[in-house]
């Protein structure tokens, strides 16, 4: 798999200096027969939803989803050997997609997975039917979690236990977190993945686990896992801090997995070290799915240099897409799905296509090209020109 070669295809893109600069596109990288080998890491892509641009209603308030296009993207991810993490933050959960719509998404994805041999699917259970408030009680948080867990497991689904904004708003101490998680985990049918979503992704989750520092919070999360170890498959850690993830990974009870949520440092964390490795549950895998699949194939073959050769060019792209304000990373993912022809429009639930500037998206375009991820450069260039023209920017 060689790095992409330059083409004669050119486009003028805006720069941070307010100028239009000519950019010459590269040929897409050949990722080979991705997804043919059984991976030696669990790899879940947190998948985005495709909005319905022709739905009636208020796009800032109503979650209108194009179900056919949304499920087609999940089948694409499964075809590459990746699992899917459904109705997570990447799917705009709590940023346009409410619990009712999320449950419909989960139901449809579970049904679709039944047609795919070996398809892996986990779905997010949270408390987003509760408005975060200091007046919410712990029993109400527990009941909200239980409602969602029971609904997902009733459909035959596996659970990612998402961080709760309502719990963050009403908890008074780390003991409250241990009480809530203990009660909820005691009633799940199958082991779950706990998601620790950092405040860089969601400011409302600042001080999660009842502690002001990540180090002390880690102690609480580990205590929850230790007390409920038979109910915990693993923990997804989304703090964008390589060393903190490694520190926690080394302290996990035997048999409990670390799923990296670090979209900045995922290659090293997935490869791991002599003491262990991280599996993956990543939003960036939504955008770099062919590269992720090919890289995991090389890792399973014992070719660590090949694994890094494929993923290294994707890291600058990931760090740009997930740059602060990190919660708007979904815009970059949907933008790339549109450029690559996986959907026919660049419209998002809640109007979130406007959450990143044209200059930001132009840089996403450049970095995706450098990683060899624009699978049809002519289509990508045509759609980028359309976006520039829509924003009255010459291309």
Per residue in 346-384, pLDDT (tens digit) is 999 999 999 999 999 999 999 999 999 999 999 999 999
User: What does the pLDDT look like over 274-296, one tens digit per residue?
Assistant: 999 999 999 999 999 999 999 99
Q: Which residues is 277 bridged to in the sheet?
A: none
Mean pLDDT of 109-126: 96
So what's the pLDDT on residue 395?
46
Domain boundaries along the sequence of the chain: 40-322
- Range of weakest confidence among 57-71, 99-113, 233-247, 275-289: 57-71
Q: Which of 120, 36, 82 is nearest to 292 (CA)?
A: 82
Provide CB contacts within 8 A for 46, sequence distance 6+: 85, 88, 89, 90, 91, 281, 282, 283, 285, 286
**Has residue 217 got a pLDDT over 50?**
yes
Contact status, residue 371 vs residue 1, Cβ threshold 8 Å: no
Q: Answer with the residue of higher pLDDT: 38 or 127.
A: 127
| Fold designation for 40-322 | TIM Barrel (3.20.20)
User: Exposed/middle/buried for 57, CB within 10 Å: 0-12, 13-18, 19+?
Assistant: exposed
Mean pLDDT computed over 18-24: 94
CA 316/CA 331 separation, integer angstroms? 16
Query: What is the chain's mean pLDDT, rounded?
Result: 95
How far apart CA 354 and CA 248 sit, in angstroms, is 36
Task: Return d(Cα 201, Cα 197) in angstroms, integer.
Answer: 7
Region 307-323 average pLDDT: 98
pLDDT at 309: 98
Q: Determine the pLDDT at residue 394.
A: 74
Which residues, at least 6 apart from 339, have a Cβ–Cβ distance to it below 8 Å? Answer: 365, 368, 374, 379, 380, 383, 384
pLDDT digits 0-9 by tens, 166-186: 999 999 999 999 999 999 999
For residues 266 and 281, give the distance between their C-alpha atoms in angstroms, rounded to a whole number. Answer: 10
Are 296 and 41 a contacting pair, CB within 8 Å?
yes
Using pLDDT thresholds of 50, 70 and 90, give the confidence band for residue 1: low
Q: What predicted TM-score, i.e. pTM, was given to this entire model?
A: 0.96
């Amino acid at each position: 798999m060689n790095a992409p070669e330059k083409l004669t295809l050119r486009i003028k893109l805006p720069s941070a200096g307010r100028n239009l600069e000519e950019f010459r596109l590269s040929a897409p990288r050949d990722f080979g027969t991705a997804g043919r080998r059984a991976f030696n890491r669990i790899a879940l892509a947190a998948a985005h939803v495709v909005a319905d641009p022709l739905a009636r209603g208020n796009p800032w308030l109503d979650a209108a989803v194009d179900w056919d296009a949304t499920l087609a993207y999940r089948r694409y991810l499964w075809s590459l050997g990746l699992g899917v993490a459904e109705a997570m933050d990447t799917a705009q959960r709590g940023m346009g997609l409410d619990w009712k719509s999320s449950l419909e998404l989960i139901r449809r994805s579970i049904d679709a997975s039944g047609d795919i041999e070996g398809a892996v699917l986990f779905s997010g259970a949270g408390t987003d039917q509760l408005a975060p408030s200091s007046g919410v009680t712990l029993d109400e948080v527990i009941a909200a979690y239980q409602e969602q867990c029971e609904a997902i497991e009733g459909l035959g689904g596996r659970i990612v236990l998402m961080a709760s904004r309502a719990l963050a708003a009403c908890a008074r101490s780390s003991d409250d977190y241990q009480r809530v998680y203990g009660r909820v985990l005691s009633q799940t049918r199958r082991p779950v993945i706990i998601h620790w979503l950092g405040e860089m992704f969601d400011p409302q989750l600042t001080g999660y686990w009842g502690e002001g520092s990540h180090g002390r919070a880690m102690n609480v999360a580990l205590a929850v896992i230790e007390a409920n170890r038979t109910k915990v498959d693993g923990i997804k850690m989304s703090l964008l801090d390589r060393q903190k993830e490694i520190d926690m990974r080394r302290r996990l009870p035997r048999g409990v997995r670390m799923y990296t949520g670090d979209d900045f440092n995922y290659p090293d964390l997935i490869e791991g070290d002599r003491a262990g490795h991280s599996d993956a549950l990543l939003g960036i895998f939504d955008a770099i799915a062919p590269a992720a699949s090919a890289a995991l194939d090389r890792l399973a073959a014992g070719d660590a240099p090949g694994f890094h050769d494929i993923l290294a060019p994707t890291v600058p792209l990931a760090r740009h897409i997930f740059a602060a304000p990190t919660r708007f990373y979904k815009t970059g993912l949907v933008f790339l799905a549109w450029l690559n022809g996986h959907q026919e429009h660049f419209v998002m639930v809640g109007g979130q296509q406007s959450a990143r500037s044209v200059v930001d998206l132009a840089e996403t375009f450049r970095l995706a090209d450098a990683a060899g991820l624009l699978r049809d450069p002519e289509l990508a260039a045509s759609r980028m020109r359309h976006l520039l023209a829509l924003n009255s920017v010459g291309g």
